[in-house]
Amino acid sequence: MTSARDEVLGRVRAALRDVEGADEPVVAPPGAAAPAGTSLVEHFAERVADYRATVVQCPPDGLAAAVAAALPDGARVVVPVGLPDVVLAGIASPVVDDALSAADLDAIDAVVTCARVGIAETGTIVLDHAPDQGRRVISLVPDRHVCIVYADQVVADVPDAFPLLDPVRPLTWISGPSATSDIELDRVEGVHGPRHLHVIVVDESS
């Protein structure tokens, strides 16, 4: 009996029968650039906001205040073990993730992390779960994610991001709050992750 897999692969092989293989690796096309008159950081902020995320920009000395403003009063906030002191300064009573259980995290209101890279064209943030970002689970269970992206971490497009990412590390790509329209095309947020994404872009020129 021929499986569907065998049938599909057979068709691919038949289509490629007369095609000679390339000796040189295929070079990825260049990614998109920010529109004329718009800076890379501005383009990133606009695209992130398109996903219904909240985006604010601040100078480095305003980071603690921006973090504090992003958190509801009295919120229980989990943080990764390597979150920088300048970010911790904006959190009243941070709960450090020391292997908190899923039940523990379910009682947490928000998480604050840094990021590895921001992609302007797609409005995407990538976490590689270094110590300033923590375990993947802490960025998925709390209902609010406050994420810090520095201006020099923003690249133009996806091809520009890959050289900065370690393929052996776990990577989480975030484009807006968690959402799905699987049922009747009605958008539902918070199904697979936080309903609220708050991005703080730290920029010297802010």
**Could you tell me if residue 129 is left (phi over 0), alpha (psi between -120 and 50 degrees) or otherwise beta?**
left
Q: Which amino acid does the sequence have at 13?
A: R
How far is residue 134 from each of residues 42, 93, 100, 131, 187, measured CA to CA in Å? 27, 18, 11, 5, 29
Q: pTM for the full model?
A: 0.84
State the pLDDT confidence band at 3, using cuts at 50, 70 and 90: confident
CA-wise closest residue to 154 among 114, 175, 125, 112? 125
Answer whether 190's CB lies under 8 Å from 176's CB. Answer: no
Domain ranges (residues) in the chain? 37-177+192-202
**149-191 pLDDT, tens per residue?**
999 999 999 999 999 999 999 999 999 888 777 777 777 777 7
**CA-to-CA distance for 138 and 78, rounded, in angstroms?**
7
Note the CATH number of domain 37-177+192-202.
3.40.50.10420
